[in-house]
Structure 1
Amino acid sequence: MLKEQGWWCLMKPIKQTLYFQVLLLSKLFLKIFALIKAIVFDSNLMFLNSIRFIQTYGTHIIVGMAIGGQDLICVRQNYSSTIPTAELRGYLEDLGDVMFSDGKSPSLLQRKTRYAKQKVPEVFNRNLQSNAVQLASIAETSSKDGLTIISSKRGGNVFLHSHSSWLQTVPAKPEGILFKFVPITSLLTGIPGSGYLSHAINLYLRYKPVPEDLRYFLEFQVPRQWAPMFCELPLRHQKKKAACPSLQFAFLGPKMHVSTTQVSSDLKPVVGLRLYLEGKKCNRLALHVQHLSSLPNIMAFTSGRPCQWRGSDEYKSSDQFLEPVRWKRYSNVCTSVVRHDPNWLQEASSGVFIVTGAQLLSKGKWPKTVLHLRLLYTHIPNCTIRKTEWAAAPETSRKASFLTNLSTTFTFTHRMVTEQQKQAPTVLNSGVYPDGPPAPIRSKKLLKYLDTSEVVRGPHDAPGHWLVTAAKLVNEGGKIGLQVKFALLDYP
């Protein structure tokens, strides 16, 4: 019996009909090693060489295999399941005894003496009843118990009802049931450029992009950084304080200053946005952009067009998109979508405008000031948009209300929260403060009006080469947030 990532597996050993053959690949191993060693990696064609290598040689080499038959029963236990592990293991062993003995062993329903005080999960009973109709693979799921049972056969006649009858058909129709692999990166020692190739193979195995997007995916897997960087932010009192507009959302409410500094990525593609509270007192609202640290080779800014700003304050209908955060007579937010001007495409024969900078603006007279968003656009020639999607921060995408909270039971909420905690994504950032420097407690007064969650897309968002092409400010639940439009491009 094996356990891996919530799966319990029980396999019946088939000694009399299992053929195990170890492939002696010494000569083939040396031949592949000689071919790989003969490859010369050019630093200028690193991406193309990596793609060709993966498509030609793959990522692993088969060094052994087992041929025969396999009768397998797997049970998956979700994090919401309350059945003890030892008890579940006993159920699985008894189920295997019944199915592998063709019903000669007493079933779970007949063992009332052993399970007098225990209720057998319903999914086990259904699996025994479905055994009368044999398929190549059967799956039974119980949302109540949080269990999933999968029974499958490989090799032989998988549609036979009896396990012993199926066992006799394995020699006539065997299948490969076990393979042993060696990573191909183990053969790259001492080859120039093997470090980047190993990194590309690891990324390919981790995120599994489709072959059509493999080149674009690898080009975008460069370090990402936020602008401005934390080391560029002033952390002490300045002798001369520049005039800074402010926002106020209610009478006698705290003031939130607005940083109108233009943030640029130096012509590098922007892949995310966030709102942030800067300053020693964390009372100055700023807009940060996340961008690639280097320009992908598939992009070429050869159009010669200068970068152009576009803001929500430039639209004639911007007054129709003003929303108060709390009180109408105080500061509002312009929720109009900021996108490139369609007239810009008339001047350019073809291409796409992407975001390479951002800025916040505050217009109007106090106390009814208006917060606007501006974006800096850069033209990329000879590209077309394949697909676009809008995205928001996880907290802003879910509207929490009193009625929705009442409609959900405590048990269901507890199980969902527990499962989310167990399935938290892996954090690869090794920084001391991966989420930014610690903020003082007094900044929580302004966090009631602001959602500082990051709206970004990275390699985990298939196919892994999204860009920002538009954005807008939103007001959800009395908090200022962001919604970002991401796009996939087709390059020449």
Structure 2
Amino acid sequence: MRLTLEGSKSNRLCIYLQHLTNLPKILLPCWDTHVAIGAPKWQGPEEQDSRWFEPVKWKNFSHVSTAPIECPETFIGDDHSGVYIVTGAQLGVWDFGSRNVLYMKLLYSRLPGCTIRRSLWDHTPNDKLNKKVNCENNIGDASSVIGENIIGNKLAKFVDMTEMSKGPQDPPGHWLVTGGKLGVEKGRIVLRLKYSLLNY
């Protein structure tokens, strides 16, 4: 996952989510077409919880909600009712009149019959922007809300666009995203993710 700027003037803040081309064999028994997993659901921060609002220098919003987003139904060592993993992401803006707050919400899908073995928050992005990847833009109408009328790419200095990723190439196994949050570091908007290893 990564943040990026789009549009003819590079003035729309967007979030990209890379999907797997093929389902890993280890997940087939848990997530095949014959397995009932239920409808995915969105999870986001509390709108009125200003404890997590961090100021940022941006014309269309003054603050960023840095609240961690996790699915409350998934816990380490829980029963085998399933684990919820991130399969979508969306940006939006709350309008409080005197201040507009950028926030992120995540789409969770259920993996039945699994439990979480280990989780960690990763604050070290992987700079893979020069590598060609197939990404899916999953922001809906958020880009039109967050667009800013400015010429050129002056906003790039306010956004960390490096990619956050961890997968089967990272020991000890196949990491899946189970949480995320926006942040503000040295005046830049950043994306940070929570990864988990599962017991299948």
- TM-score, L = length of structure 1: 0.32
Call closer, same or farther: CA 1:459–1:449 in 2, change over 3 Å.
Answer: same
Quote the offset at 1:298 in angstroms.
2.5
Is residue 136 of structure 2 the alignment partner of residue 434 of structure 1?
Answer: no
Deviation readout 1:83-130 (Å, 9 max, x if unpaired) = xxxxxxxxxxxxxxxxxxxxxxxxxxxxxxxxxxxxxxxxxxxxxxxx
SS at match of 1:298: helix
* 1:345-424 equivalent positions in 2, closer than 5 A: 350-365=81-96, 368-394=99-125
Check if 1:485 corresponds to 2:182. Answer: no
Compute the TM-score of the two structures, normalised by the length of structure 2.
0.76
Q: How does 1:14-33 map to 2 (within 5 A)?
A: none
Pick from 146, 162, 167: which aligns with 1:458? 167
Q: Partner of 1:292: helix, strand, or coil?
A: coil
Aligned residues: CA RMSD: 2.9
Are the structure 2 counterparts of residues 435 and 448 from structure 1 closer, same or farther at C-alpha, using a change threshold of 3 Å? Answer: farther
Q: CA deviation at 1:377?
A: 0.5
**Per-residue Cα deviation, 1:155-185 (whole angstroms, up to 9, x for no partner):** xxxxxxxxxxxxxxxxxxxxxxxxxxxxxxx
Displacement of 1:318 in angstroms is 2.4
Q: AA paired with 1:289? A: L
Q: Does 1:303 align with 2:31?
A: no
From 51, 58, 72, the equivalent of 1:341 is 72
Are 1:282 and 2:10 matched, yes or no? yes
Question: Runs of 5+ in structure 2 lacking a partner?
Answer: 134-150
SS of equivalent residue, structure 1 residue 448: helix
1:321 is aligned to 52
Counterpart Cα distance in 1 of 2:163 and 2:95? 28
Contact 2:74 2:84 in 1 (8 A): no
- For residues 160 and 47 of structure 2, what CA distance do their matches in structure 1 show? 28
Following TM superposition, by how much is the alpha carbon of 1:351 offset from its aligned partner in structure 2, in angstroms?
Answer: 1.1
Instruction: State the one-letter code of the partner of 2:7.
Output: G
The list of structure 1 runs, each at least 4 consecutive aligned residues, that deviate by more than 4 angstroms after superposition, is: none
Q: Which has the higher contact order (CA 8 A, sep 6+)?
A: 2
Offset of residue 478 of structure 1: 0.5
Return the index of the structure with the highest Cα Rg.
1
Question: Greater strand share, 1 or 2?
Answer: 2
CA contact (8 A) 2:54 2:64 kept: yes
Distance in 1 (CA, whole Å) between partners of 2:197 and 2:102 is 29
The equivalences for 1:57-76 within 5 A come to: none
d(CA) in 2 for partners of 1:394, 1:349: 32
Question: What is the Cα deviation at residue 343 of structure 1?
Answer: 8.9
Change (3 A) 1:477 1:435: farther
Cα deviation code 1:360-393 (max 9, x no counterpart): 0111156621111110001111111111111124
Contact 2:92 2:102 in 1 (8 A): yes
Structure 1: which 5+ runs fail to align? 1-272, 396-424
Q: Distance in 1 between matches of 2:14 and 2:103?
A: 12
Residues 385, 338 of structure 1: alpha-carbon distance in 2 compared, 3 angstrom cutoff = same
Alpha-carbon offset, residue 487 of structure 1: 0.5
Contact 1:393 1:453 in 2 (8 A): no
Contact 2:164 2:193 in 1 (8 A): yes
Percent of residue pairs bearing the same amino acid type: 42
Would you say how many aligned residue pairs link Structure 1 and Structure 2? 173
The partner residue of 1:449 within 153, 158, 182 is 158
Give the direction of change, closer, same or farther, for the CA distance of 1:394–1:371 in structure 2 (3 Å limit).
same
CA contact (8 A) 2:173 2:197 kept: no
* Contact residue 37 and residue 111 of structure 2 kept, 8 A: no
For residue 13 of structure 2, give the secondary structure of its aligned residue in structure 1. Answer: strand
Q: For 2:86, what is the secondary structure of its paired residue? A: strand
Q: Is the alpha carbon distance of 1:351 and 1:394 closer, same or farther for their aligned partners in structure 2, counting shifts above 3 Å?
A: closer
Equivalent residue of 1:471, what SS? strand
Matches of 1:285 and 1:475, distance apart in 2: 15
Give the direction of change, closer, same or farther, for the CA distance of 1:367–1:479 in structure 2 (3 Å limit). Answer: farther
CA distance in 2, matches of 1:316, 1:281: 30
CA shift, 1:321, in A, is 0.6
Per-residue deviation, 1:317? 5.9
| Structure 1 residues 316 and 280: CA distance shift in structure 2, 3 A | closer
